Amino acid sequence: MTEKSHRFPPQLRLKTPSDFDAVFTRRASAGNGWLVVYAAKNELGACRVGLVVSKKKIGNAVQRNRWKRRLREAFRLSREKLPGGFDFVVLPQSKQHPTFAELENGLVQLAHRAARKWKRNHGTTTRPPEGKLPG
């Protein structure tokens, strides 16, 4: 693999509040003791990630930044293993730091679970069928 394939360019990051809101409103999530991953289908064909690391759950700035660095690296290294065409928002839930291998494996497993949940809840289309009345 070339080094370029391992980069984490800005196109693979969720940046705006509307990007995060689009993922949170669809409510397809999966969690374990360390992480919660929210997923929503995007139209890009590539997976993107956004991080939400709260002061209340994680602690001071040093701890929050450490979580963010480790999560970005886990995403960067396991990007090929993640389901394509999804936006993910990752929230750490514990002040305890798992090993990097546990973090990377957990991220991949939770991303797949959240993507399956999204597909089950929303189907393959992003819009409801036309012409059908509710009830």
Is residue 86 scored above 70 in pLDDT?
yes
Residue scoring higher pLDDT (56 or 3): 56
Is residue 129 scored above 80 in pLDDT?
no
| CATH annotation of 9-122 | 3.30.230.10
Is residue 5 scored above 90 in pLDDT?
no
Q: How many CB atoms lie within 10 A of CB 117?
A: 17
Give me the chain's average pLDDT, please: 83
pLDDT-above-70 percentage for the chain = 85
The answer to whether 50 and 88 have CB atoms below 8 angstroms apart is yes
Is residue 125 scored above 70 in pLDDT?
no
Q: Give me Rg for the CA atoms of the chain.
A: 16
Is residue 83 scored above 80 in pLDDT?
yes
Going from N- to C-terminal start, the domains of the chain cover 9-122
User: Which residue, chain included where needed, has tokens 């291998």?
Assistant: 101
pLDDT given at position 124: 56
Is residue 122 scored above 80 in pLDDT?
no
pLDDT given at position 42: 86
CA gap 67, 72 in Å, rounded: 9
pLDDT given at position 126: 47
* Residues shown for the chain: 135
Strands (E), 10-83: 28-31, 35-41, 48-51
Tell me the mean pLDDT in the region 38-62.
89
